[in-house]
Amino acid sequence: MMNSQCFVEQTGTEELLERVGRYCAECFSEFVPGERIYYDMNDYRYLCGSCAETLSEKMDERCEIVEDEGGSLF
Ligand SMILES: [Zn+2]
């Protein structure tokens, strides 16, 4: 289930893709015209559906990325 308040879902029309760029900011796959694309309001970038979904799973209700609990960098 998409945590959709963190993303603006848009249709990637030719016009829009022309303006925002044709590639997902995360996986760099090329958007297909007509595809649903997702604007990440936290990072000001466009993502494909699968990246938006993966990212939304890691987000809390304030759209902040929550890293796995228990893991420590140190
Ligand atoms: Zn992607």
Query: What is the reported pLDDT for 35?
Result: 95
Mean confidence (pLDDT) of the chain: 89
- Are the C-beta atoms of residues 47 and 54 closer than 8 Å to each other? no
Does pTM top 0.85 for this prediction? no
Q: Which protein residues have their CB within 5 A of the ion that is ligand 1?
A: 24, 26-27, 48, 51
* Range 10-21 burial, b when 16+ CB lie within 10 A, else e: eebeeebbeebe
Q: 29-68: per-residue pLDDT in tens?
A: 999 999 999 999 989 999 999 999 999 999 988 888 887 6
Alpha carbon of 69 to ligand 1 centroid (Å): 25
Q: 5-39: per-residue pLDDT in tens?
A: 899 999 999 999 999 999 999 999 999 999 999 99
Alpha carbon of 23 to ligand 1 centroid (Å): 8
Alpha carbon of 74 to ligand 1 centroid (Å): 30
Alpha carbon of 59 to ligand 1 centroid (Å): 16
